[in-house]
Amino acid sequence: MTASKIPILDVSLHGRPAGTITHLPGDQTLFAFDEAYIADENRPTLSLSFKDVYGGLLTSFRPVQTRVPPFFSNLLPEGALRRYLAGRAGIKGVREFPLLGLLGGDLPGAVVVRSADGKEWPDGDDHQHDEDEEHAMRFSLAGVQLKFSAVMESRGGLTIPASGAGGDWIIKLPSATYTGVPENEFSMMELARHVGIDVPEVKLVPVQAIGGLPIGADEIGGDAFAIRRFDRGADSARTHMEDFAQIFSVFPERKYERANYRNLAEVIWTEIGAPGVTEFVRRLVFNALIGNADMHLKNWSLIYPDGRTPVLAPAYDFVSTIAYIADEKMALNFVSAGVRKFSELDIHVFRRFANKVRVPEKLVTDAIEETRARFDEAWDKARRALPLTKGVVGAIEKHRTTLKL
């Protein structure tokens, strides 16, 4: 492989060059910051994972085998959805470099990744071109989670762009495995709003009313869950964000490991302060009360409204999972390996949590009491007014009898 043919991906942030990812011999990738980005003292923040212990910018990185570095790997779809999209594009799903080049025009946050030579398909992988490439971003019903971007039209309807990219809403179709998941998520998000948690606009949309669905998807029926993207603004302006798997440099499949809720709180306390920790505790308590056992590293994010300074991103992926899976184990350890069950959470655990994070105990206990009181008041109305099945309501009420909060 000659130097002139070494595949390179250009990484931009808010439309400005930020760095490159180079595909090296031996199927390795290497990220490097752009020199102008390094020299700019007012540069936008790409990720807290690139900060050193003194707050400076890390600029020396080791190559990664087969994959791209964790920050970029976490921008890509996971699991079956990744395999489907890669297969449609003729790309091997484990080869993240060409997949990132393909999907890099509409990633979470304000990052855009493009092939440096202008090719749509970066060199360095066996790509099989076929007539369906223009629809490679569409989603089929064959074993993937039906979750995709959509555009709100002037008449108020939602349509999936033919490219699958550029939407300002995320749509999730009904699950083939579990009943009433869209209604569950919509209800938990609206309940969270009434409790005082920062929640984006959400709605239930009849599947039949969504334009541009893949063939066969309109046969599902029922309602889909829709949430407005908080990383997109007016005229699709991009706001940067990153999840905590990116912050901790953890590959997506390790999102249930390598960190606990104390670690998240330490970052939030350092970067945001008391308002961030208060909101974080509020969400911890809320998800304990509804029995959401899936608040892993990728379900917590920071957002950068001014491009440089993080705040806790609005809440997302709030679902009462105990309505479907009778498991009270939280997605992450709470403080240490000794506390992971909802039933183990009490005021003493939260006080120890506050001491470990080195935040005032009163800040934490006040957030707990306020959230619990607001939840009790809101739940009494929500269980009758929101579109919840009797099974979900019953599961939450049974779960609450096991809690010490």
The b-or-e profile of 148-167 (16+ CB within 10 A means b, else e) is bbbbeeeeeebbbbeebebb
Q: Are strands 16-24 and 8-13 parallel, antiparallel or unpaired?
A: antiparallel
Q: Characterize the bridge pairing of strands 202-206 and 240-243.
A: unpaired
99 CB-near residues (< 8 Å, 6+ apart): 76, 82, 85, 86, 89, 91, 93
Q: What are phi and psi of 42, to 5 degrees?
A: -105, 25
In this structure, the number of other CB atoms found within 10 A of the CB of residue 362 comes to 9
Give Cα 397 distance to the centre of its chain: 28
If one counts every other C-beta atom within 10 angstroms of the C-beta of residue 262, the result is: 18
Note if 294 is an active site residue. Answer: yes
Active site residue: 27, 198, 218, 294, which one? 294
Residue 314 DSSP label: P
C-alpha–C-alpha distance, residues 91 and 96, integer Å: 9
CA distance 275 to 279: 6
* Rounded alpha-carbon distances, angstroms, from residue 355 to 23, 140, 285, 350, 362: 45, 49, 17, 9, 11
CA distances from 352 to 217, 358, 367 (A): 49, 10, 15
Q: Which two tokens stand for residue 88?
A: 């449609």
The DSSP result for 161-218, as a single string, is: -TTS---SEEEEPPPSSSTTHHHHHHHHHHHHHHHT-----EEEEEGGG-BTPPTTGG
Q: Tokens 């997605």: give the residue.
A: 331
Bridge partners of 152, per DSSP, are 158
Distance CA 368, CA 388 (A): 25
Closest Cα to residue 182, out of 164, 196, 202? 202
Q: In what order do the strands lie in the sheet with 8-13?
A: 64-65, 28-33, 16-24, 8-13, 111-115
Cite the active site residues.
Answer: 294
